[in-house]
């Protein structure tokens, strides 16, 4: 920021002095007027340091007659020196604007290209894994590491066990010990009929020698 030491010298070839020269060079955010001969102007409204510098550079071109010099920070500066110093700051702001715009465009281009790049790399990795084989040292050289299952925390392990148990109960799944404990405890009735040969066949009635029916038995049993 350009500051003035409230010093000004008469303009060469001009009987007057730059009455508002030092306050105009000081800038700040104050508004006022400066006169030099028949030239007068009003400071533009300020909106940030960039606008402040721009307004100073633009305004002083009309306020300072050619040949005017002022003392700024103990250094005598001509009109052109002051304006050049201010415009150099404005140019730096413009350069930053251009860089920001360029960076924004580069980011948009990268964002648009990333999906295709991810797909290409994934396909290439699949080809390389098929070419060298899983676990090949060549893949590690290329930065393609084998995928390992992530380690579960104790909370995740407990949640997985509880979920598995709830699933078994819902499906009615039982292990060997659980099956061994399930037995029928009621009574059953078994009926057999004797054939002439004497071989028992359940559910059949046959004549025994002599026309008599074979003896049948009904024996309750229980496991």
Q: What is the pLDDT of residues 23-49, one digit of tens each?
A: 334 443 333 333 333 333 344 444 589
Sites in the chain below the pLDDT cut of 50 = 1-46, 206-208, 211, 213-219, 221-223
Task: Collapse the DSSP code of 181 into the 3-class scheme (helix H, G, I; strand E, B; otherwise coil) and give the result.
Answer: coil
Q: What H or E segment, with its residue span, contains residue 77?
A: strand 75-78
Q: Is residue 16, in this structure, part of any structural domain at all?
A: yes
How many folded domains does the chain comprise?
1
| 67 in a structural domain | yes
Range of the structural domain that residue 86 is part of: 7-92
Is 135 within 8 Å of 146 (Cβ atoms)? yes
200 within a domain of the structure (yes/no): no
Token digits for 223?
């496991």
User: Does residue 198 form part of some domain?
Assistant: no
In a domain, 117, yes or no: no
pLDDT at residue number 16: 38
Q: Is residue 136 part of a domain?
A: no
Tell me, yes or no, whether 35 lies in a domain. yes
Q: What is the pLDDT of residue 76?
A: 95
The pLDDT of residue 55: 93
Asked whether the beta carbons of 1 and 23 are under 8 A apart, the reply is: no
Residue 73 lies in a domain: yes
């Amino acid at each position: 920021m350009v500051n003035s030491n409230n010093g000004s010298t008469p303009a060469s070839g001009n009987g007057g002095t730059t009455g508002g020269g030092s306050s105009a060079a000081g800038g700040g955010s104050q508004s006022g007027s400066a006169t030099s001969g028949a030239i007068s102007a009003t400071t533009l409204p300020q909106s940030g340091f960039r606008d402040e510098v721009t307004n100073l550079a633009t305004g002083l071109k009309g306020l300072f007659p050619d040949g005017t010099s002022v003392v700024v920070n103990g250094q005598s500066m001509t009109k052109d020196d002051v304006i050049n110093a201010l415009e150099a700051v404005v140019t730096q702001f413009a350069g930053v604007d251009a860089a920001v715009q360029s960076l924004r465009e580069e980011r948009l281009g990268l964002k648009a290209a990333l999906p295709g790049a991810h797909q290409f790399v994934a396909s290439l990795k699949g080809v390389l894994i098929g070419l060298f084989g899983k676990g090949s040292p060549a893949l590690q050289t290329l930065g393609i590491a084998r995928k390992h299952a992530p380690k579960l925390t104790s909370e995740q392990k407990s949640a997985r066990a509880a979920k598995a148990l709830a699933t078994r109960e819902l499906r009615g799944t039982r292990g060997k010990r659980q099956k061994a404990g399930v037995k029928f405890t009621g009574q059953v009735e078994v009926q057999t009929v004797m054939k002439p040969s004497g071989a028992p066949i359940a559910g059949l009635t046959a004549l025994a020698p002599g026309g008599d029916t074979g003896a049948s038995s009904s024996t309750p049993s229980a496991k």
